[in-house]
Structure 1
Amino acid sequence: MWKIVAISVVAALFLYINTIYADFAYDDSRAILKNQDLLPETPLANIWKDDFWGTPLRDSGSHKSYRPLVVLTFRLNYFFHQLSPGGYHLVNVVLHSIATGLYTATVGVLGRKLWVTLISGVLFAVHPIHTEAVAGVVGRADILCAIFFLLSILTFRKYCELVVGHTSRVRYGWIAATFTLVTASTLSKELGITVIGVCCVYYIICYCNLTIYDLLPVGRSTVKLRQHAETVLLLVLFGVVLLTTRLYFMGYSPPSFSPADNPAANSTSFLTRCLTFLYLPVFNFWLLVYPVTLSFDWSMDAIPLVESVWDYRVAVIVLFYSSLVLSVKYSLTNFLSSSEISRKPLISQEVRNGLNGYKKLCQSDGNHQTLTNGGVANGGTNNRNGIETVTFRRLRKDSSSSSESVGCDENFNEVETVGTPTYHRHYSTLVLGLSLLIIPFLPATNLPFYVGFVVAERILYIPSMGYCLLVAEAVYQIFKKLRHQKLYRVGLYTTLTLLCVLLSLRCYSRCLDWATEERLYTSGIAVNPAKAWGNLANVLNNRGEVDAAEQAYKSALSHRSNMADVHYNLGILLQGQSRYREALEAYDLAIQCRPRLTVAHLNKGIVLALMGKHSEAKQAYTDCSEIDISGLKDPRMHESAKVSAMYNLGRLYAEQKDYPAAISMYNLALEMRPNHYAPYSIYNLLGEAYFQSNDLEAAEKAYRKSLYHKADHAPAHLTMARLMSVKKNFREAERLYEKAIQINDKDAQSLHHYALYLAERNRHAEALVLWQKAVDLSPLDFDITFNLASALRHVGRNKEAIYRYETAAKLSPESATAHMNLGAMYHINANYSLALKSYSKALELDPHNQVTKNNLRKLQNIMNKAKR
């Protein structure tokens, strides 16, 4: 069997190893790139308090997905290689290979045929439905959950073997191990708790061989059921405790989702909800059967609602559930066809008690096989110890005997399990496969509660185990039917091989789709065009392809016009191009679609301020700061947006020289800010407001707090240095300026501010050196260029000064000062015609500038004398 496990593991590893070169994609951004719980400075205890996305679990906006073990593995990844995606993907591939090997081993250990084990394992390894779980880093939750899920089944099976004839300590040790693994599975993903249901089914039907008659409350059937009540009761009680604890951690409140996440759940029509929820399991099953059309997202209108009984999909629903009912009925009918076997245990209870768990020692002569316990027993007799032994004879269709001989299958050379008739093993395989297929999928059916998705391919990771087992059993039964028809069997071998090859090719191509976000979103356009175009536009915008991004945003909106995020992102793009009026329209549409989208209000205020509409900007900032964000997704983003609105409102007051109002708003921002919002920028601007209000002591305190929260915050060093200069503490001022430059010697503004300080101290030569460095770093900066020209003038390098003034005048044609100084340099260098032109331009821009008037008068006097 271990060779079969190795084949499955190698197949899984081979198919997915190329994903280690993939980028982060889709949900990985929020779960990893933006998740504060991965950072070393975040207390490890937060992992146990926050949801999967880093939001406090009891927050009204939490997704309520509690997966601390998965986040812990992300944190370990971050510890070793920060945000390099290769390591995250490698761990996923290794975990998937482990899960594949465990699944294959579990099928074999539970007594399935080698052929069933091989086919199940290989199908699971190559099935494309697993691509999202493996290639998407967030899919690690499903893989890790599956590993603990399978380990739970294996440890529970060990417990079952020890139910009879072993001490309570040994038995309870294994059940405790089972419960520990169930807990680990649930802490990896919520559906891990469903393994309790699978264990119950396995124990009652597959292990205890209880039949439908045993489960019915008639006659003596309840006696047999009571014998196994302890195990079932332990499982159920633990499930209740685990579920209650889970609900406690999430504050006994369900998550809230937007209508687009699950449109059917938000439908006002009961008929639409029922029909759609009945159709979705059919659709999921079809993805397992025919995994050709796959998508990163199935929300919104990707699967249209079933709103009428005349919808053709209603016929599909009826066909699917009818087939399911008929299949179950057929299986049960065949199982009950032999009443002698179905109503009686194969081994009496006395034998079960006396055999210490009935060790299976098989001795076969080709015609019959005898179960022994310390000696050879005669069929159907008692030995001298009073222990009954049973001889099993081959079960034939024309025989009424309930015994069976265990021999070799002439076609597959495999040995039947003692005491379990072929039809019963087949039945238990069907039950196990159906339980693995159905029970883990139940939370996604919207029956117990509404979920935040329509279809999610990674949710099928565990249910696919049941599907693969059922397919393998079906193939094996066909093999048996064709045991004497070699040609048909060769055809079946060929078909099965071709199926595995096709699934592998689809799996490989889907892995390539997940290699980059651009390929992933492009592949989803056919399924969910609105979501795919919107996400693709973000990728293009981040890459600097703004024209293509704008077109992609508009394509997304053409498919679904009420997507607030897309309107907002389009506004960001337009704002970056200084197309403020269009950006404002986009933000207004975003707010119209989602009135509580704080970032849209924030950026609307910023655009209005840039357009000079200060009163409207103030209102936008105020609206943003007053939004109730309870129940909203990503509360961190909304909290930060509200504080940023207060921050920007304070800046607007400061620009209008209303410093008391600015100080009040900055203090309110500091009071309202969440822990994850860094306060150093607010403290720096607060200090600036105090400085302008001539409250130097309060300004110094604010600056020092800014530096306390971020010691390498260069703007705080610059503002603090200017304060020290005003307080005549020149040595400290120069130390702070030099520290700012040391933090980032490529920052032109730090060089510029230090040069201004030196120029004020009449150290023009030193200032000149700094401005020359600054202009190299920022050649289009008017202030730097203008001051460089002034420094050149002070050191007597007039020709260079003229060149820099000319450049400054070109950079800011509306600057009267630049034209006046340029005129003065022409004037000094006796270039009177150009001086006159520059003075005239300066007076045109600033008619009341007395310095320009005086210089012009002197120039005219010189020119008049020259004419004489």
Structure 2
Amino acid sequence: MYNRLNYMLVGLRPWWWHVCNVLLHAACSVLVARTCVTIARLQRPFAALAALLFAIHPIHTEAVAGVVGRADVLACIFFLSSLLVYHRPTSNKKSVCLSVVLGGLSMLAKETGVTILLLNLAIDFYRCWPFVKRSMWSLKIEKKCAGLSIRTIKVVFSLALLISMRLALLQGTWPVFSPQDNPAAFHPSFFVRLMTFCYLAAFNWWLLLCPWTLSHDWQMGSVPLITSGWDLRNLLTCAALGTLLLIFYRCFTDLEVQRHSPLLVGLLLLVVPFLPASNLLVTVGFVIAERVLYIPSVGSVIITAYGVQLMWYSKPGSKLFLVVGLVVLAASGVARTHRRNADWRDRAILLRNSCFRNTIPMAQCIVTSADVTSLPQNAKLHYNLGNFLRETEQPDSAIKHYKEALRLWPTYASAHNNIGTLVAGPENAEYHFLQAIRYNKHHVNAHYNLGKLYKKTGRTEHALKMLERCILLQPRFVQAHVELLSLKPDSEKLEILRKLVELEPNNWEHYILYGNWLKNRGLPGPASKFYLEATRVSFQLQSSQRSVRADLISFSSTALMYRALGQKSRILQLLTRWHTWRRGWPSSAAAHMYWRDWRLKMELEGRVQIYSKAVNPTKSKTCFDHKHLDVEPNRDVKVEEKVPVNKHTSVSAKDVNCECKHCVKKRNLSVPTQLKTTHNKSEIGLKDKKCEHRKESSDIIPKLGALTEHILMKTF
């Protein structure tokens, strides 16, 4: 909802989206300072230090610079707001309910936000522990313990309700991941999975302490599996686990006195929000994601600030060294954050700096041991860089990176598929498409590309098989239906056309295809309806999406079909509406006025000269025939402003003998004396017709003959 509001205000201008993310990050920093004072009970200068370290931490670059990371920032805002509301000094019964609501909003932004309810209960138990212990020894429930029990019931019930709602949104199923997303989760050995996941947790903590090696994607071999107990990386796991146990022991021994509240609050903020993303409880679709460390980093900076506070008062002589160290720490954080923000300015820079040194030009990015920097073993980074090179029309470099991705991950089906679209020769392309299907039998694009290749090489039966398999895997694949339509016989195209119109009812091309099929089947009436629907759909598109090609093709098809049916009056109506929409008048009133004005000009064109001469008529022995109304093209006609005659001049039937063979009755002829002249360079071709008697107020409507055809040919 926040992104939708952002789009309504500023559209897709990236600068304003980044400004909004920075403002949200600043709001989080303020909430961190407030949390350090009221919840962690740090002194104000050190609370400000914790907020400053949080604001400049390089690990937050992905969450603030990327639009996807806004979910983590919003989740942190609601997370800290729920924490402050639950533990505010003047708490009441409504505080718990409001805290639960804020926790639910945090969960809607990010699933890990639901852990705030567990964190609130843990801090609540910590603060009420002396009363709980006293009640346990005396077997009497004190007032504090009774309130704690009520809050616990409310929070546990709310937690169960929120988790049920979240599962309902997932329709009762867990997300499905592949080995490419999280290789360790699919390893058959339990000990390999345990050692790898424990190391990943320790490595995440190391990123909070030393965020030097950063990447936007850590999948597919970025972190090799730990398959042996003698792996040196297990030392980092043991060090992190040992430090964590020491902090827990220090907090446990301090339950009675509670002198180290910042330590416990920081530890809980570090561990509890990270548990859902640790792969220890549930399997997630990533190995390491820097943006999920946005909330746990609050606990990390609280522990750091509390350590500085202890050293500040316990060792007064080391204050100068502390100040210098803090300045160096802040400066290094600012420098690393600035450099990381520069990487996020552009997709090409982000991909290049994730794989290669900045000194290598993009067009010459070839994988060598001297050029690889942080994550040379990440196959997905090479794949993404290959996609970028393919989009920028550098196929040779793209193929090299696709092959490097296959060397690192031989079963990478998407890399095989993309190589098949770039290599020369149908045999090579067919080999890579088949390899992609071999490693991933549900790869829709590989089936589609192979079907197009078979169609291009004349293997119709194989093309039909692949395209039908593609539609079976993804029934809403529109392009596969379009390709299949060109291969099926006319008797089997009806069902495909109906499916296309059903899948994309706002695509004018599908109505044109349907109309062409009906036209070829000898059904001009139904075909004209689909052509008209294509015209209507093309008119309804926004000006930025409407193209001249859509308007012209749909309009010409409709007009030609109307002409074949002999409905020339409908062609006139369609033409006026088309002119109105092409002028960009969405108002129905303006369109109607323009249509009336244009129609009046069409009716009066070519007849002005006859009407002007009829001001002073002479007696004639013959009736007016239609051929007398013809006007030579490009003739200038002038009308006198004042004519001293009566308003109407008539010829009596008794004085005039009708010599027209086609006329059966005698008639009176009356013409208005003053008419407004209209000059138009268009020609009207009128055929000789029988003389018909017309009243003075009757309208003269020309039939469309050569005029409509001339306009259509001139338009297209």
TM-score surpassing 0.5? yes
User: Aligned to 1:192, which of 106, 113, 119?
Assistant: 113
Q: How far apart are the structure 2 equivalents of 1:156 and 1:544?
A: 56
Change (3 A) 1:564 1:710: farther
SS in 2 for 1:208: helix
User: Aligned to 2:493, which of 646, 662, 666?
Assistant: 662
Q: How far apart are the structure 2 equivalents of 1:566 and 1:741?
A: 49
Change (3 A) 1:503 1:725: same
Q: How far apart are the structure 2 equivalents of 1:469 and 1:584?
A: 58
User: Aligned to 1:587, which of 433, 446, 456?
Assistant: 433
Q: Is 1:606 aligned to 2:452, yes or no?
A: yes
Quote how far apart the aligned CAs of 1:507 are: 0.7
Alignment of 1:368-387 (within 5 A): none
Q: How far apart are the structure 1 equivalents of 2:387 and 2:76?
A: 33
Query: CA contact under 8 A between 1:201 and 1:432: conserved in structure 2?
Result: no
Q: Is 1:276 aligned to 2:112, yes or no?
A: no
Q: Is 1:465 aligned to 2:298, yes or no?
A: yes
Deviations 1:401-423 (A, max 9, x none): xxxxxxxxxxxxxxxxxxxxxx7
Q: How far apart are the structure 1 equivalents of 2:569 and 2:428?
A: 50
- Residue 694 of structure 1 is matched in structure 2 by 522
Alignment of 1:147-162 (within 5 A): 147-158=77-88, 161-162=90-91
Q: AA paired with 1:593?
A: Y
Query: CA contact under 8 A between 1:153 and 1:178: conserved in structure 2?
Result: yes
TM-score, structure 1 normalization: 0.60
Query: CA contact under 8 A between 1:196 and 1:235: conserved in structure 2?
Result: yes
SS in 1 for 2:258: helix
SS in 1 for 2:130: coil
CA RMSD of aligned residues (A): 3.1
Change (3 A) 1:763 1:228: closer
User: Aligned to 1:142, which of 42, 59, 72?
Assistant: 72
* Greater shift in the superposed pair: 217-226 or 587-596: 217-226
SS in 1 for 2:37: helix
Change (3 A) 1:498 1:211: farther
Quote how far apart the aligned CAs of 1:232 are: 2.3
Q: AA paired with 1:468?
A: V
Alignment of 1:540-555 (within 5 A): 540-555=389-404
- Residue 94 of structure 1 is matched in structure 2 by 23
Alignment of 1:77-226 (within 5 A): 77-110=6-39, 111-158=41-88, 161-162=90-91, 171-205=92-126, 207-208=127-128, 210=130, 220=139, 225-226=145-146
Q: AA paired with 2:30?
A: G
User: Aligned to 2:212, which of 292, 295, 316?
Assistant: 292
Change (3 A) 1:536 1:461: same
SS in 2 for 1:591: helix
Query: CA contact under 8 A between 1:202 and 1:432: conserved in structure 2?
Result: yes
Deviations 1:550-582 (A, max 9, x none): 3333333332232222333334445xxx85554
Quote how far apart the aligned CAs of 1:739 are: 7.8
Quote how far apart the aligned CAs of 1:199 are: 1.1
Quote how far apart the aligned CAs of 1:591 are: 2.2
5+ long unaligned stretches in structure 2:
356-373, 540-545, 584-704
Change (3 A) 1:183 1:117: same
Q: How far apart are the structure 2 equivalents of 1:213 and 1:327?
A: 22
Query: CA contact under 8 A between 1:602 and 1:620: conserved in structure 2?
Result: yes
Q: Is 1:566 aligned to 2:415, yes or no?
A: yes
Q: AA paired with 1:175?
A: V
Change (3 A) 1:762 1:209: closer
- Residue 720 of structure 1 is matched in structure 2 by 558
Q: How far apart are the structure 1 equivalents of 2:98 and 2:712?
A: 73
Quote how far apart the aligned CAs of 1:734 are: 7.9
Q: How far apart are the structure 2 equivalents of 1:640 and 1:85?
A: 31
- Residue 260 of structure 1 is matched in structure 2 by 180
Alignment of 1:410-559 (within 5 A): 424-425=258-259, 427-483=260-316, 485=317, 488-525=318-355, 526-527=374-375, 529-559=378-408
Deviations 1:291-311 (A, max 9, x none): 000000111111111122222
Alignment of 1:705-854 (within 5 A): 705-711=533-539, 713-714=550-551, 715-729=553-567, 732=570
Deviations 1:96-135 (A, max 9, x none): 0111111112212333112320221111011101111000
Q: How far apart are the structure 1 equivalents of 2:495 and 2:151?
A: 66
Deviations 1:305-344 (A, max 9, x none): 11222222223222321232133224434x37xxxxx3xx
Quote how far apart the aligned CAs of 1:619 are: 1.7
Change (3 A) 1:77 1:161: closer
Change (3 A) 1:742 1:544: farther
Q: How far apart are the structure 1 equivalents of 2:554 and 2:433?
A: 32
Q: How far apart are the structure 1 equivalents of 2:63 and 2:134?
A: 40
Q: How far apart are the structure 1 equivalents of 2:133 and 2:383?
A: 57
Deviations 1:486-540 (A, max 9, x none): xx32112101110111011001101111111111111222325321122122223
Query: CA contact under 8 A between 1:143 and 1:461: conserved in structure 2?
Result: yes
Quote how far apart the aligned CAs of 1:708 are: 4.3
Query: CA contact under 8 A between 1:517 and 1:536: conserved in structure 2?
Result: no
* Structure with higher RCO (Cα < 8 A, 6+ apart): 1
Query: CA contact under 8 A between 2:251 and 2:264: conserved in structure 1?
Result: no
Query: CA contact under 8 A between 1:214 and 1:225: conserved in structure 2?
Result: no
* Greater shift in the superposed pair: 583-592 or 119-128: 583-592
Q: AA paired with 2:54?
A: F
Q: AA paired with 2:469?
A: D
Q: AA paired with 1:727?
A: L
Look at both structures and tell me which one has the larger radius of gyration over its CA atoms.
2
Deviations 1:807-866 (A, max 9, x none): xxxxxxxxxxxxxxxxxxxxxxxxxxxxxxxxxxxxxxxxxxxxxxxxxxxxxxxxxxxx
Quote how far apart the aligned CAs of 1:219 are: 6.2
Aligned residues: 564
5+ long unaligned stretches in structure 1:
1-71, 163-170, 337-341, 343-422, 628-637, 746-759, 772-868
Change (3 A) 1:532 1:214: farther
Q: How far apart are the structure 2 equivalents of 1:218 and 1:182?
A: 34
SS in 1 for 2:476: helix
* Greater shift in the superposed pair: 677-686 or 462-471: 677-686
SS in 2 for 1:228: helix
Change (3 A) 1:243 1:764: closer
SS in 1 for 2:87: helix
Q: How far apart are the structure 1 equivalents of 2:568 and 2:401?
A: 55
Change (3 A) 1:585 1:88: farther
Query: CA contact under 8 A between 1:718 and 1:737: conserved in structure 2?
Result: no
Q: How far apart are the structure 2 equivalents of 1:263 and 1:214?
A: 50
Q: How far apart are the structure 1 equivalents of 2:713 and 2:530?
A: 32
Quote how far apart the aligned CAs of 1:145 are: 0.7
TM-score, structure 2 normalization: 0.73
Q: AA paired with 2:258?
A: H
Change (3 A) 1:226 1:766: closer
- Residue 648 of structure 1 is matched in structure 2 by 483
Change (3 A) 1:214 1:494: farther
Q: AA paired with 2:382?
A: W
**Percent identity of paired positions between Structure 1 and Structure 2:** 30
Query: CA contact under 8 A between 2:519 and 2:527: conserved in structure 1?
Result: yes
